Structure 1
């Protein structure tokens, strides 16, 4: 796991660089405006769906029995915010991985991996398909595991879901510009547990108020550093093997 922690340290360093500042702001603003618009036009429908979900978890009946109306309304509003914030973060993650990653990759690659050849094994369509797959499985995880909240085991769901979302979204895009298709497959397959570990560690930040606004860009930087470092190592090992074969012959 040393490579995971090294990627996180490098991401923290890059996060405070001035050039990254503008990249941090606009995905969050777009995601927030999007969900504010959705909430304005579909708030009643959203409230009904939320209440049905609360009922499934046993919270709905409890809210009905709360004597003070303002207390019940305050609790419902707080729960709406708890749901609203993750939606913004998820949307920001998707915007980041599809639209912001090229700029971040350029920043990281030019400074830390200037000699790394670009093979362009990924594509925009591949990134979009990967993002749609990640969102679909993420939503399915929440729906299927919803009953676990009734027995208290649901507390682990957000962390597992965040770990999956992060590693699924960013592992492909972090390598898509520099690695070939085969190199992407090799790195993802041989570092499966490390990618999940990095996804989990970066996912924790998504649950820290205020700091979680930086989570999407921080996660992207961490996966870029992780991916490019392993790509550099993979190519170095491949070149060494070729030299060894040439010497033996």
Structure 2
């Protein structure tokens, strides 16, 4: 529990660092750049195709004529532009978040390792291709679990428990693996994921509940269409900040657990070298020297 709370407060403090705040604005900058580039090359063809599709629907022909009695401008052209924007926005947001998540997590882990664990040895981790395949496989399992559990969502309490639990499990498996990928070998990583399973799952579930906050803002933007283009960027920024906090929390916890594991093994090896009679006493003293008395 102490390491859980300690890593939590450290993650909160790191979120106030200028570097983390700047990284949280990265998806907004990337989203604007993508929107400008796509708009420059594809805006006119997309609007023209959408308008021709809307005009080709026989059921809407009378509706366009009736609407034209109230608006002096071409309403179908305005609606076509709005449809293109609303259709392109989720895709641009998804691409931006995927790119940023791939860049932020390693950067934040390195930030924690550099500032808090500068002497922690780097060991060869998995390749980038294996990490991507593993993340995709775990995501697929989580999606299957969500689909299978949907009938249980009709029971009121379970709809508030099952989805966060599934996403929490996914977050715990992916982010803890990424946090340890540059520093721990296969055996160390498996040991930490096994011995700290429940605290890491708790972190994942709590981060899953925090990740629901941007959805409220996003839904408000859809409900109040006039404020959509203001509320949607706010939701994206909040989501990125929550992601940064989650990555920092996992990085602090996992790297701390790894440092403690290595200290305990070093103390045990030292005690064994000194002789069986002093094994317990020397091991306890070496651990307390490394981390302080509890």
TM-score w.r.t. structure 2 length? Answer: 0.61
Deviation for aligned residue 1:229? 0.1
Determine which of 79, 100, 115 is the counterpart of 1:111: 115
Partner residue in 1 for 2:5: 5
Identify if the C-alpha distance between structure 1 residues 138 and 150 changes in structure 2 by more than 3 Å, giving closer, same or farther.
same
Identify if the C-alpha distance between structure 1 residues 203 and 2 changes in structure 2 by more than 3 Å, giving closer, same or farther.
farther
Identify if the C-alpha distance between structure 1 residues 3 and 221 changes in structure 2 by more than 3 Å, giving closer, same or farther.
same
Give me the whole-angstrom Cα distance separating, in 1, the residues matched to 2:106 and 2:250: 13
For 1:75-224, list aligned pairs within 5 A.
92=97, 95=99, 98-152=102-156, 153-209=158-214, 210=235, 211-224=238-251
Deviation for aligned residue 1:125? 1.8
1:189-248 CA-to-partner distances (Å, cap 9, x unmatched) read 111111101111222211224444421111111100011000100010010011001100
Deviation for aligned residue 1:29? 6.2
Give me the whole-angstrom Cα distance separating, in 1, the residues matched to 2:174 and 2:105: 11
Contact 2:12/2:245 (8 A) holds in 1: yes
Bigger relative contact order, structure 1 or 2 (CA pairs below 8 A, ≥6 apart): 1
Number of residues paired by the alignment? 203
Deviation for aligned residue 1:100? 2.4
Deviation for aligned residue 1:150? 2.6
3-state SS in 1 of match to 2:25? helix
Contact 1:130/1:168 (8 A) holds in 2: no
Contact 2:179/2:254 (8 A) holds in 1: yes
Identify if the C-alpha distance between structure 1 residues 151 and 30 changes in structure 2 by more than 3 Å, giving closer, same or farther.
farther
Q: Which has the larger radius of gyration?
A: 2
Partner residue in 1 for 2:292: none
Deviation for aligned residue 1:96? 5.3
Contact 2:27/2:240 (8 A) holds in 1: no
Q: Which runs of 5+ in 1 are unaligned?
A: 42-80
Q: Which runs of 5+ in 2 are unaligned?
A: 39-45, 47-85, 215-234, 277-294
Structure 1 runs of 4+ with >6 Å offset: 31-34, 88-91
Identify if the C-alpha distance between structure 1 residues 203 and 90 changes in structure 2 by more than 3 Å, giving closer, same or farther.
farther
Partner residue in 2 for 1:234: 261
TM-score w.r.t. structure 1 length? Answer: 0.71
